[in-house]
Homo-oligomer: A and B are copies of this chain.
Amino acid sequence: MEQLHINTSSKQYSVWIGDDIRYKVSEYIPTPLQQKVSSVLIITDDQVAPLYLQDVKNGLSNRFEVFEYIVPAGEQSKSFQQYYDIQTYALEQGLDRHSLVIALGGGVIGDLAGFVAATYMRGVPFIQVPTTLLAHDSSVGGKVGINHPLGKNMIGAFHQPEAVVYDPTVFKSLPLHEWRSGFAEAIKHSLIWDAQLYSWLQDHIDDFSNIKGELAEQLLLRSIAVKAAVVSEDEKENGIRAILNFGHTLGHAIEKELGYGKMTHGEAVAVGMIFAMRLSEQYYDISLPIDEVKAWLTKLGYETDIPVELDPNQLVHTMKKDKKAQKGVIRMVLMKELGRVEVVSVDEEPIKELLLKSIKGE
């Protein structure tokens, strides 16, 4: 059982990591909040519900009135309609400003439920109960939101949870591509911030089947610690937080151009990270351990080249429309050395050239 304190300018809260703690979520509600909670709304999806909803409910219904709302699994549930429907349900059930929202699921549920919580009656508390490895990244930091047909995560807020209750035993139900999606963010945290973590990950993880118990707890703890350190310095993404975007500028563009769901988020980010490292070598005229990272990623089952069916011009076009772009100029996180990165504005041409090379497998 591990506990990690998160400090942001707007809130302090704990991430709890431990086997089987999903059965007793009510114990991790901070004491002052426990006394105020009038009712609980668990928001989850139809893949998670049959597996874990009852476990979580049992640990809450002895103390609170518990409501549940189940959305279809998948990115398409981060929609205005779903957002509106949950608000309607909450109003119909008489939930008030002291109701507590529990986000039980992966990143989609965390984002959707978190945005409901951020805006229901101008904000109610919520707790993240992640069920995927990928959610170790999204559940900390307070970014919540939904998609607009014109772009992912375009509507949202910063709303920190009251606690994150992380039970790694649920990972046993994760398919391989979900392991890869989540683990890519752990690798990212090591690459941008913590060279020691990079070595530790390389030493301990070359196969997803052995990640459980102590190893799973340590993986979560150390990876989340990086996220927490960055977010503590910059809650609202005005500065350093942008480095978390390493591998994401291209990764997002790949996801979009392939069509969402063809490649998982983390798998696309893995491709993006290799690309960012290659661009960094050019940009700074340095040498980085790209082959080593590629070999490790490949062993873990990741693709590391850009899918051949994608068009460099179209990818660049999409990268220029990224939320982090400024007046159409592409902003990328580049690596100066392992564990140290910075955000820079990059010209289109070198990006296009390198994209073309990478697509050709050069």
Contact = CB atoms under 8 A, between A and B. Distances in A.
Interface of A: 10, 38, 80, 84, 87-88, 91-92, 94, 96-98, 118-123, 143, 145, 148, 150-151, 153-158, 236-237, 321, 323-328
Nearest to A10: B10
A84 B87 CA distance: 15
Nearest to A144: B122
A154 B98 contact: no
A123 B155 contact: no
B91 A154 contact: yes
A211 to B, nearest CB: 32
A326 B10 CA distance: 25
A122 B157 contact: yes
Contacts of A158: 122-123
B123 A87 contact: no
B119 A119 contact: yes
B96 A327 contact: yes
Contacts of A150: 88, 91-92
A344 to B, nearest CB: 18
Contact of A84 (B80, B91, B145, B327): B80
Contact of A80 (B80, B92, B321): B80
A233 B188 CA distance: 41
A80 B158 CA distance: 20
A217 to B, nearest CB: 31
B327 A38 contact: yes
Contacts of A237: 122
A120 B87 contact: no
B91 A148 contact: yes
Contact of A155 (B120, B156, B236, B323): B120
Nearest to A92: B150
A100 to B, nearest CB: 14
Contacts of A145: 119, 122
A13 to B, nearest CB: 16
A157 B123 contact: yes
A93 B151 CA distance: 13
Contact of A120 (B121, B154, B321, B328): B154
Contacts of A98: 326
Interface centre among A80, A119, A120, A323 (most CB of B within 10 A): A119
Contacts of A120: 154-155
A122 B143 contact: yes
Given A122-B145, A148-B88, A96 B325 contact: yes
Given A87-B154, A88-B148, A326 B96 contact: yes
Contacts of A153: 122
